Amino acid sequence: MLYVILSLIGIMAGYVLLLLGLMNFLPAFIGAILMFISIFSAVFFLNERRRFKGFPSNRNG
């Protein structure tokens, strides 16, 4: 859960940096890279929750 919160904070920071980049205060690619990484990590950590990995096999062979 901590990773998701950090990812959301990263998305907000990336959004602010992207806006500053669009206003030509900062390079826009810095905000775009941070935005991409934070969205990617948020989606990754949201999908890495408890998955059904099948029933345990009791066979020894």
Q: Is the pLDDT of residue 16 over 70?
A: yes
The residue behind tokens 């345990």 is 56
pLDDT tens figures, 40-58: 988 888 887 777 777 777 7
- List CB contacts of 1: < 8 A, sequence separation 6 or more: none
Q: How far is CA 48 from the centre of its chain?
A: 11
Q: Is the pLDDT of residue 23 over 90?
A: yes
Give this prediction's pTM: 0.69
